């Protein structure tokens, strides 16, 4: 017997941090509405990023930078103060810094998001219900949206929001799979890493923040052997520090538009700071607030220039490592246990024992082979929805309800988050927020970015 279709005002597809923050903002607005959040995990608010259970897997921003409340930058600091005061996270006492400068474990941050949702539900006339399942198909007409789940259940909403979060390359099935993930160990699976010979070499593809997490996981699993890291540019994330404030030079001069102009001015500002004995991270941190504007006004050619020539350095300088994790990576590097090579991954080689990969080192034409006891895929996030072998992204593309975003980063939408279909028409029923809008704003994954989007989108959905 087929279940009857459930109805709601808003369907939120994805119950990680993005979907949870949108639900909180909808709950805080006047009126009474029903919100269904579709999420296959047992808990809302955690998603891929904040389901980590190891204390060593921390946020890459300190508490003062990670508030889920766009109207209160100190919200996480205040929550942490109460949480630590009640006996939570006793290990935080080992760090002699103010609570605002602590880098909380991601699992604790997920708890914070969940508590803010619970508080919003208790104070609202609206309702939020977690529907556990995965959306596999979506239909949209002039009046509503109809979502089909993997168990056959159907949900109808006046609006649907794609709050699907990030698709980590290490955990995302690819439409053109090289078999990498099948052969690789999950970067966050400490238990699986305990099965690796602790003295044997481990190979890691990618050198960004996922690699840093993988190294932390290996350390916690008791691995003490060599670690070989390979990435195209061989760049490690810089450590995040707490620099003093710096003049908002991009806010004062809107003539700076192109990637080349931006790069030159940022370098000049960093040299000025260093000449004054000030951390170069101070001027760089002021750029963050302007990235959305700069990216959206850039031409297609300028965006391609940025991605091709500037992106690796932007990622390593801006997406920085939390201090304790960075200290571990630095120590292993100094000991000679961790080596990083600039090389491109070219595929797997069948191997009876361990794993063998093919690589082309930077500046060389020849392809070489490297072997290890285990392989970890730390190549970051897959933003191209055409390559994500999950039912819903594939069905949305097949139905023509979405189109790839600029440079195939996420999906296309207007400034409010209303999705563009294959013909470029702006949907009146389907919206997106957070990482799916990477191509619209370039930076659309940080907590502060998503918090601002959640508040604006909630306001729009209640006014249509």
* pLDDT tens, residue order, the chain (464 aa): 346 899 999 999 999 999 999 999 999 999 999 999 999 999 999 988 888 888 899 999 999 999 999 999 999 999 999 999 999 999 998 888 999 999 999 999 999 999 999 999 999 999 999 999 999 999 999 999 999 999 999 999 999 999 999 998 878 776 665 678 788 999 999 999 999 999 999 999 999 999 999 999 999 999 999 999 999 999 999 999 989 999 999 988 778 777 788 889 999 999 999 999 999 999 999 998 899 888 988 899 999 988 888 899 999 999 999 999 999 999 999 999 999 999 999 999 988 889 999 999 999 999 999 999 999 999 888 999 999 989 999 999 999 999 999 999 999 999 999 999 999 999 999 999 999 999 999 988 899 999 999 999 999 999 98
Final residue of a domain: which of 361, 377, 393? 377
Report if residue 279 sits inside a domain: yes
Q: Are residues 82 and 223 in the same domain?
A: no
Range list of β-strands (E), 390-446: 418-420, 426-432
* Torsions phi, psi for 321 (to 5 deg): -90, 140
Do 91 and 102 touch, CB atoms closer than 8 A?
no
Closest CA to 378 of 227, 173, 168: 168
Q: How many C-beta neighbours within 10 Å does residue 335 have?
A: 9
Final residue of a domain: which of 351, 377, 403? 377
> How many Å apart are CA 61 and CA 79, to the nearest integer?
16
Report if residue 172 sits inside a domain: no
When divided into structural domains, the chain yields a total of: 3
Segment (H or E) for 399:
helix 391-399
The DSSP bridge partners found for residue 162 are 13, 432
Q: Are residues 393 and 373 in the same domain?
A: no
Rg of the chain over CA atoms, in angstroms? Answer: 22
Q: Are residues 354 and 223 in the same domain?
A: yes
> How many Å apart are CA 173 and CA 321, to the nearest integer?
27
The DSSP bridge partners found for residue 430 are 160
Q: How many C-beta neighbours within 10 Å does residue 179 have?
A: 11
Contacts of 88 (CB under 8 A, 6+ apart): 108
> How many Å apart are CA 374 and CA 226, to the nearest integer?
11
Q: Are residues 57 and 146 in the same domain?
A: yes
pTM comes to 0.93
Q: What is the pLDDT of residue 124?
A: 98
Q: What is the pLDDT of residue 147?
A: 98
Q: Are residues 408 and 365 in the same domain?
A: no
Report if residue 143 sits inside a domain: yes
Q: State the CATH number of the domain containing residue 396.
A: 3.50.50.60
Q: Are residues 256 and 193 in the same domain?
A: no
Q: Are residues 60 and 187 in the same domain?
A: no
Do 12 and 105 touch, CB atoms closer than 8 A?
no
Q: What is the pLDDT of residue 413?
A: 97
Report if residue 174 sits inside a domain: no
Report if residue 187 sits inside a domain: yes
Q: Are residues 367 and 224 in the same domain?
A: yes
Q: Are residues 298 and 359 in the same domain?
A: no
Q: Is 48 left (phi over 0), alpha (psi -120 to 50) or beta?
A: alpha
- How many Cα neighbours within 13 Å face the side chain of 46? 15
Do 136 and 148 touch, CB atoms closer than 8 A?
yes
DSSP state of 365: -
Report if residue 1 sits inside a domain: no
Final residue of a domain: which of 291, 317, 343? 317
What DSSP string runs through 233-293? S-PPPPBP--PPP---HHHH-TT--SHHHHHHHHHHHHHHHHHTT--THHHHHHHGGGHHH
- How many Cα neighbours within 13 Å face the side chain of 304? 5
Report if residue 98 sits inside a domain: yes
Do 128 and 117 touch, CB atoms closer than 8 A?
yes
> How many Å apart are CA 25 and CA 453, to the nearest integer?
10
Q: What is the pLDDT of residue 353?
A: 86
Closest CA to 324 of 222, 227, 233, 215: 215
DSSP state of 346: E
Do 203 and 228 touch, CB atoms closer than 8 A?
yes
What SS3 state is found at 16?
Answer: coil
Q: Are residues 409 and 269 in the same domain?
A: no
CA angle 58, 60, 66 (to 5 degrees): 95
Report if residue 243 sits inside a domain: no
Give tens-digit pLDDT for 396-423. 999 999 999 999 999 999 999 999 999 9
Q: What is the pLDDT of residue 52?
A: 80
Q: Are residues 202 and 273 in the same domain?
A: no
Place of tokens 């000030």: 278
Q: What is the pLDDT of residue 1?
A: 37
What SS3 state is found at 338?
Answer: strand
The DSSP bridge partners found for residue 359 are 345, 368
> How many Å apart are CA 306 and CA 257, to the nearest integer?
12
Which residue range forms the structural domain that includes residue 300?
Answer: 249-317
What DSSP string runs through 294-322? HHHHS-HHHHHHIIIIIHHHHHHHHSPBP
Long-range contacts of 456-461 (CB under 8 A, 24+ apart): 456/416, 456/417, 457/22, 457/25, 457/161, 457/416, 457/417, 457/431, 457/433, 458/22, 458/25, 458/26, 458/28, 458/29, 459/25, 459/29, 460/416, 460/417, 460/431, 461/10, 461/26, 461/159, 461/161, 461/431
Q: Are residues 313 and 327 in the same domain?
A: no
């Amino acid at each position: 017997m087929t279940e009857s279709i459930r109805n709601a005002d808003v369907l939120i597809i994805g119950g990680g941090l993005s979907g949870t923050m949108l639900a909180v903002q909808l709950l805080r607005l006047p009126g009474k509405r029903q919100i269904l959040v579709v999420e296959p995990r047992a808990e809302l608010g955690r998603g891929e990023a904040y389901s980590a259970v190891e204390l060593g897997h921390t946020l890459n921003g300190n508490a003062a930078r990670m508030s889920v409340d766009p109207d209160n930058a100190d919200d996480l600091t205040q929550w942490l103060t109460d949480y630590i005061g009640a006996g939570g996270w006793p290990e935080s006492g080992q760090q002699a810094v103010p609570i605002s400068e602590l880098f909380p474990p991601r699992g604790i941050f997920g708890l914070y998001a969940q508590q803010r949702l619970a508080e919003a539900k208790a104070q609202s006339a609206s309702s939020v219900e977690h529907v556990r399942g995965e959306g596999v198909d979506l239909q949209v007409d002039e009046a509503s949206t109809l979502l089909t789940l993997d168990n056959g259940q159907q949900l109808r909403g006046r609006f649907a929001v794609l709050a699907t979060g990030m698709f980590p390359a290490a955990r995302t099935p690819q439409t053109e799979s090289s078999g990498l993930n099948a052969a690789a160990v999950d970067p966050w699976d400490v238990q699986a890493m305990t099965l690796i010979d602790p003295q044997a070499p481990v190979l890691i593809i990618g050198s960004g923040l996922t690699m840093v997490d993988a190294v932390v996981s290996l350390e916690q699993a008791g691995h003490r052997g060599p670690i070989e890291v390979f990435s195209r540019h061989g760049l490690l994330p810089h450590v995040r520090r707490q620099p003093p404030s710096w003049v908002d030079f991009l806010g004062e001069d809107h003539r700076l538009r192109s990637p080349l102009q931006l790069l030159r001015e940022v370098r000049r500002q960093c040299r000025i700071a260093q000449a004054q004995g000030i951390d170069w991270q101070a001027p760089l941190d002021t750029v963050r607030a302007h990235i959305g504007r700069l990216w959206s006004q850039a031409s297609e050619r300028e965006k391609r220039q940025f991605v091709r020539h500037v992106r690796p350095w932007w990622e390593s300088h801006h997406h920085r490592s939390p201090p304790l994790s960075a200290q571990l990576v630095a120590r292993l590097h100094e000991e000679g246990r961790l080596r990083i090579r600039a090389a491109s991954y070219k595929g797997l080689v069948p191997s009876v024992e361990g794993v063998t990969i093919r690589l082309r080192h930077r500046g060389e034409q020849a392809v070489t082979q490297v072997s290890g006891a285990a392989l970890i895929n730390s190549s970051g996030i897959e933003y191209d929805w055409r390559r994500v072998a999950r039912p819903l992204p594939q069905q949305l593309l097949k139905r023509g309800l979405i189109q790839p975003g600029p440079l195939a980063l996420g999906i296309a939408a207007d400034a409010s988050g209303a999705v563009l279909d294959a013909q470029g028409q702006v949907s009146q029923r389907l919206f997106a927020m957070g990482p799916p809008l990477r191509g619209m704003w370039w930076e659309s994954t940080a907590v502060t970015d998503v918090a601002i989007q959640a508040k604006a989108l909630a306001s729009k959905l209640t006014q249509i």
